[in-house]
Amino acid sequence: MFNKLDELLKRYEEIHQLLTDNEVASDIQRCQKLAKEMASLEHLAKKYREYKRLLQEIHDAKNIIEKETHQEFVDMAKNELGELDKRKNDMELELEEAIFEEDPDANRDVIMEIRAGTGGAEASLFAGDLFRMYSRYAAGQGWKIEIMDSHAAGAGGFKEVIFSVRGPGVYKRLKYEKGAHRVQRVPATEASGRIHTSAVTVAVLPEAEDVEVEINPQDLKIDTYRAGGAGGQHVNVTDSAVRITHIPTGIIVQCQNERSQHKNKAAAMKVLKARILDHLRTEQDKKTASARKKQVGTGDRSEKIRTYNFPDRRVTDHRIGFTIHKLDRVMEGEIGEVIDALAQAERKLKLGQTK
């Protein structure tokens, strides 16, 4: 652990030095990348510096005990040493937790995609319920949500909704939501009162920085078309919707929510970059496999992660076997208890694999 902390502190100080260099300062993109990296290291670097100062105080106290001839000073040093040792033990635990919780993506904004899966109209309704749940949770955290694209279902809810979430610690909290969410309830249209099971998939993509994903314009196929759905006369007369195909990966993104073709294209490019970054990371994870072993669940969108059982008012997260009987509150956006349990389970998993 301390070898890693030494490397981290060395890198933090190296970046600090680089940012004072005129040549680096003139390269805006490099400067932004270094500043972001420095910000991600700052908390641990400061905590480790504090720990090293504490070690020096312990060394000084031991020196006094060994060499001081006045008993009064020796007694004072012994009392101080006891307090310093306790602080040292506490700080080592804090450092251990902090270093294994370290996530370079923790404070990134995210793009979330909710899609109705099996279950027809009921799945679309539940996709709308999940969007409302995340919207309320985001509001409680002081985050901002913006819909980037959506396809409403005839019976209500969404066939698909794509939206951005912006604010501090967004990815750190929402990364656990990626996967298949299953709902068990009696649909409003079910006359016999039979419980149906439907599914909705959720993707959580950290927004990509421009320096991380470089897209060659020649690799893009851009089509415009008339937006569908609600929107009055505008829908029928303006080719404002945009579809972008990234030829090398085959990733297709489309946006039609804005009236402006320019705004739809900008939103589509943002989603495209996030999907390409996710694609590149997934391919890298397949090669190394190590990152997945330290996660709670695989993070695969097809993995069933959670069940919302309405008759029993029960929410169960299958990855850690966590169940609470507060479904009504969860659907109102109070998902913090579930996320806290997942974060704690992942922390234990990481610590266990390093001991």
Residue where one domain finishes, among candidates 287, 311, 341: 287
Are 126 and 86 members of one domain? Answer: no
Residues 87 and 166 grouped into a single domain: no
Same-domain check for residues 280 and 197: no
The CATH number of the domain where 132 resides is what?
3.30.70.1660
Give the mean pLDDT of the chain: 85
Are 138 and 69 within one domain? Answer: no
pLDDT at 235 over 50: no
Range list of β-strands (E), 10-157: 110-116, 144-152
Which carries the bigger pLDDT value, residue 351 or residue 215? 215
Instruction: Tell me: do 180 and 314 sit in the same domain.
Output: yes
pLDDT, position 189: 67
Same domain, 282 and 316: no
Judgement on whether residues 116 and 204 belong to the same structural domain of the protein: yes
If asked whether residues 315 and 248 sit together in one domain, one would say no
Sign of CA dihedral 319, 325, 329, 334: negative
Give the CATH number of the domain where residue 235 resides: 3.30.160.20
Q: Which of 14-18, 93-97, 110-114 has the lowest mean pLDDT?
A: 93-97
- 225 pLDDT above the threshold of 80: yes
Q: What is the pLDDT of residue 214?
A: 78
Mean pLDDT within 216-231: 79
* pLDDT surpassing 70 at residue 276: yes
Length of the chain in terms of residues written: 355
pLDDT tier for residue 353 given thresholds of 50, 70 and 90 = low
Name the domain count of the chain.
Answer: 3
Highest mean pLDDT among 39-53, 87-101, 168-182, 218-232: 168-182
Q: For 237-243, what is the mean pLDDT?
A: 77
- From 261, 287, 313, give the residue that closes a domain: 287
Give buried/exposed letters for 179-201 (b at 16+ CB in 10 A, else e).
bbbbbebebeeeeeeeeeebbbb
pLDDT band for position 24 (50/70/90)? Answer: confident
Residue located via tokens 């709670």: 296
Same domain, 156 and 275: no
Same domain, 204 and 334: yes
Boundaries of domain holding 243: 217-287
Listed range (97-106, 230-239, 295-304) with the worst mean pLDDT:
230-239
Domain boundary among 101, 129, 157: 101
Record the pTM.
0.69
Same domain, 36 and 138: no
The better pLDDT of the pair 164, 156 is held by 164
Average pLDDT over residues 282-310: 68
Q: Examine the domain organization and report whether 178 and 306 are in the same domain.
A: yes
pLDDT, position 334:
96
Percent of the chain with pLDDT over 90: 41
CB atoms within 10 A of CB 104: 12
| Percent of the chain surpassing pLDDT 70 | 87
